Chain A
Amino acid sequence: DVKVTQSSRYLVKRTGEKVFLECVQDMDHENMFWYRQDPGLGLRLIYFSYDVKMKEKGDIPEGYSVSREKKERFSLILESASTNQTSMYLCASSWGGGHQPQHFGDGTRLSIL
């Protein structure tokens, strides 16, 4: 069974802090994704990566960056946290090539005060 693990379930940070969210998958998936989920807006893609050291902007990349130094790990970085980045953050992974479902972690509920 695919396991996608996000390092924290709940996180509280202050405005202006640099915040790191970590995600690890154990299925050797090529693709990894970061989303945020907000009420009424569904899941919006922030960044994704289809290979080590590769990254692509999603629909809402502003204020975020990512790092993928190893295949199994994909980090989301909030460079200078702001209150409008308070949200549920979800990491996902999938096989490369063709259409494949994405497998999600349980999410990190991030609050920026």
Chain B
Amino acid sequence: DQQVKQNSPSLSVQEGRISILNCDYTNSMFDYFLWYKKYPAEGPTFLISISSIKDKNEDGRFTVFLNKSAKHLSLHIVPSQPGDSAVYFCAASARSNQGGKLIFGQGTELSVKP
């Protein structure tokens, strides 16, 4: 039972354009969502998060949008740069989760072409 789903395994975008990565979840108890970026041969690095009391959070070129009614979140990267090419994971957590447990999606591999 996949509680967090990233239905697009890959995405290709031209440099300078917008990248939109999507994530869906099924558990209505989730109240905190995160995006991680992973380069090959490195561990995931935390990118941006959003609490369920918000519907948008921005950090530079990265914006995360949360639609609670649709149980959907998205990460927008604008403008996209070749260095953004990586695998992106969304993750979710419920406050009731002991120990800060996160549930991860399958990942979307973003390729930004010059």
Which A residues contact B (CB, under 8 angstroms)? 4, 9, 31, 33, 35, 40-45, 48-50, 56, 58, 90, 92, 94-96, 98-107
Contacts and interface: CB of A to CB of B under 8 A. Distances in A.
A72 B46 CA distance: 20
Contact of B106 (A35, A42, A49, A103): A42
B92 to A, nearest CB: 10
Contact of A42 (B32, B34, B107): B107
B25 interface: no
B9 interface: yes
B93 to A, nearest CB: 6
A106 B105 contact: no
B101 A45 contact: yes
Contacts of A96: 99-100
A102 B6 CA distance: 20
Contacts of A105: 43
B35 to A, nearest CB: 10
Contacts of A31: 99-100
A54 B84 CA distance: 38
A78 B96 CA distance: 29
A3 B75 CA distance: 26
Given A41-B106, A48-B101, 10 more contacts: A40-B106, A42-B104, A42-B105, A42-B106, A48-B99, A50-B99, A56-B99, A99-B32, A104-B43, A106-B41
Contacts of A9: 41
A43 B102 CA distance: 10
B43 A107 contact: yes
A73 B100 CA distance: 17
B44 A99 contact: no
B14 interface: no
Nearest to A41: B106
A107 B41 contact: yes
